[in-house]
Amino acid sequence: MTSTTKKHRNFVGEPMGHKSVRDLPGIGDNLGQRLENLGFNKASDVLGQYLHVKQDTMQFISWLKNTSGANSRDAESCTRGLKEWCDNNL
Protein backbone atom coordinates (compact mmCIF):
# COMPACT_ATOMS: atom_id res chain seq x y z
CA MET A 1 0.00 0.00 0.00
CA THR A 2 1.29 3.44 -0.93
CA SER A 3 1.15 6.11 1.73
CA THR A 4 -0.43 9.37 0.69
CA THR A 5 0.38 12.94 1.56
CA LYS A 6 -1.99 15.44 3.12
CA LYS A 7 -2.01 17.25 -0.23
CA HIS A 8 -3.11 14.02 -1.96
CA ARG A 9 -5.86 13.36 0.58
CA ASN A 10 -7.13 16.94 0.33
CA PHE A 11 -7.14 16.80 -3.46
CA VAL A 12 -8.99 13.52 -3.86
CA GLY A 13 -11.43 14.28 -1.05
CA GLU A 14 -12.83 17.50 -2.49
CA PRO A 15 -14.66 18.58 -5.65
CA MET A 16 -12.40 19.76 -8.49
CA GLY A 17 -13.96 23.23 -8.57
CA HIS A 18 -11.46 25.92 -9.50
CA LYS A 19 -8.41 24.33 -7.89
CA SER A 20 -5.05 25.59 -9.04
CA VAL A 21 -2.77 23.27 -10.96
CA ARG A 22 -0.48 23.60 -7.91
CA ASP A 23 -3.11 21.80 -5.80
CA LEU A 24 -2.37 18.58 -7.69
CA PRO A 25 -0.30 16.02 -5.78
CA GLY A 26 3.29 16.08 -7.01
CA ILE A 27 2.96 19.57 -8.51
CA GLY A 28 4.76 22.26 -6.57
CA ASP A 29 5.64 25.82 -7.44
CA ASN A 30 8.24 25.06 -10.14
CA LEU A 31 6.20 22.47 -12.03
CA GLY A 32 3.06 24.53 -11.46
CA GLN A 33 4.71 27.56 -13.04
CA ARG A 34 5.83 25.53 -16.06
CA LEU A 35 2.33 24.12 -16.55
CA GLU A 36 0.75 27.57 -16.10
CA ASN A 37 3.11 28.96 -18.73
CA LEU A 38 1.72 26.32 -21.10
CA GLY A 39 -1.89 27.27 -20.33
CA PHE A 40 -2.61 24.56 -17.74
CA ASN A 41 -3.70 26.93 -14.96
CA LYS A 42 -6.31 24.78 -13.24
CA ALA A 43 -6.20 21.23 -11.95
CA SER A 44 -9.16 20.58 -14.24
CA ASP A 45 -6.97 21.46 -17.26
CA VAL A 46 -4.55 18.68 -16.30
CA LEU A 47 -7.47 16.36 -15.53
CA GLY A 48 -8.66 17.03 -19.08
CA GLN A 49 -5.33 15.82 -20.44
CA TYR A 50 -5.54 12.72 -18.23
CA LEU A 51 -8.99 11.99 -19.63
CA HIS A 52 -7.79 12.79 -23.16
CA VAL A 53 -5.26 9.93 -22.95
CA LYS A 54 -8.13 7.74 -21.69
CA GLN A 55 -6.62 7.51 -18.18
CA ASP A 56 -3.62 5.63 -19.56
CA THR A 57 -1.15 5.92 -16.69
CA MET A 58 2.03 5.47 -18.69
CA GLN A 59 0.95 7.81 -21.47
CA PHE A 60 -0.07 10.50 -18.98
CA ILE A 61 3.16 10.18 -16.97
CA SER A 62 5.15 10.49 -20.19
CA TRP A 63 3.12 13.57 -21.20
CA LEU A 64 3.60 15.22 -17.80
CA LYS A 65 7.33 14.53 -17.74
CA ASN A 66 7.82 15.79 -21.30
CA THR A 67 5.57 18.83 -20.84
CA SER A 68 6.61 20.09 -17.41
CA GLY A 69 9.93 18.38 -16.77
CA ALA A 70 8.42 16.48 -13.82
CA ASN A 71 10.53 13.69 -12.41
CA SER A 72 9.12 10.17 -12.18
CA ARG A 73 8.14 10.47 -8.53
CA ASP A 74 6.20 13.72 -9.03
CA ALA A 75 4.55 12.50 -12.24
CA GLU A 76 3.47 9.26 -10.57
CA SER A 77 2.14 11.16 -7.54
CA CYS A 78 0.07 13.43 -9.77
CA THR A 79 -1.23 10.46 -11.74
CA ARG A 80 -2.22 8.57 -8.57
CA GLY A 81 -4.11 11.65 -7.37
CA LEU A 82 -5.98 12.07 -10.65
CA LYS A 83 -6.77 8.35 -10.85
CA GLU A 84 -8.16 8.29 -7.32
CA TRP A 85 -10.13 11.50 -7.91
CA CYS A 86 -11.65 9.97 -11.06
CA ASP A 87 -12.43 6.71 -9.27
CA ASN A 88 -14.25 8.67 -6.56
CA ASN A 89 -16.04 11.22 -8.74
CA LEU A 90 -16.64 9.90 -12.28
The pLDDT value recorded for residue 2 is 55
The pLDDT value recorded for residue 42 is 97
Asked whether 11 and 43 are in contact (CB, 8 A), the reply is: yes
Q: Which residues contact 53 (CB under 8 A, 6 or more apart)?
A: 59, 60, 63
Topology adopted by domain 6-89: DNA polymerase; domain 1 (1.10.150)
Q: Which residues contact 51 (CB under 8 A, 6 or more apart)?
A: 86
What residue type is assigned to position 53 of the chain? Answer: V
The pLDDT value recorded for residue 1 is 43
The pLDDT value recorded for residue 47 is 98
The pLDDT value recorded for residue 45 is 97
Q: In order along the chain (90 residues), what is the average pLDDT of each group of 10 residues?
A: 79 93 96 97 97 98 96 96 95
The pLDDT value recorded for residue 4 is 75
The pLDDT value recorded for residue 66 is 96
The pLDDT value recorded for residue 3 is 62
Q: Give domain limits for the chain.
A: 6-89
